Amino acid sequence: MTENKIIRNQINLAKDNNQNAFNYLLNAYWDDVFNFQLKRVNNESVAEDITIESFTKAFEKINTYNHKYVFKTWLITISKNLHIDKLRKNKLVIVKSKNLIDIKESSPSPEDDLINEQKLKSLKNKINQLKPIYKKVIELRYFNELSYKEISKKLNQPINNIKIRVMRAKRILAELISHD
């Protein structure tokens, strides 16, 4: 089998929701998408986040992929568009903030502390609703602030599996939060 046929076969399997095929495609194209983003943003953490979002979006839309196009080009296009969207959102926030005068006290009020505490408690309740493996990666990534590599070592799992779990956990958590 040529590489092209192997990739085409893996894409077809992914269209049938085969998790091994998703892992294969992620491993095969991770460096291409990550390096593309790294050149654009010049920040490894941001490049990694956009790369994860790129694969998330690509895998969600895998059934729309047309075999007459090169899969790598399709992935890079998704990644490029996500980066452009992020730039537009940041530009809007900057423009809005220039038109507003924001005066804040240097320390939060007791009311602010109470509100933040309630928000954190609500978030922790949502996290507790996740499956244990998703809960664990969210806690390690966002509360313990471990890198994907550190989480990979701690859980003795391949780094790409960790990235997919974090991506899925974030998506499930977002759905739980949006249902409130």
Angstrom distance (rounded) from CA 127 to CA 172: 9
Report residue 101's pLDDT band, with 50, 70 and 90 as the boundaries. very low
Stretch 121-143: mean pLDDT: 86
Asked if residue 84 is part of any domain, the answer here is: yes
Report residue 44's pLDDT band, with 50, 70 and 90 as the boundaries. confident
Q: Are residues 72 and 119 in the same domain?
A: no
Q: Are residues 139 and 171 in the same domain?
A: yes
What range defines the domain where residue 121 resides?
110-178
Q: How far is the CA of 1 from the CAs of 22, 47, 55, 102, in angstroms?
A: 19, 33, 25, 62
**Total number of domains in the chain:** 2
At a CB cut-off of 8 Å and minimum separation 6, what does 61 contact?
78
pTM for the full predicted model: 0.59
Q: Are residues 67 and 10 in the same domain?
A: yes
Indicate which CATH number applies to the domain containing 150.
1.10.10.10
Asked if residue 143 is part of any domain, the answer here is: yes
Is the distance from CB of 60 to CB of 171 less than 8 angstroms?
no
Asked if residue 68 is part of any domain, the answer here is: yes
Q: What is the pLDDT of residue 76?
A: 94
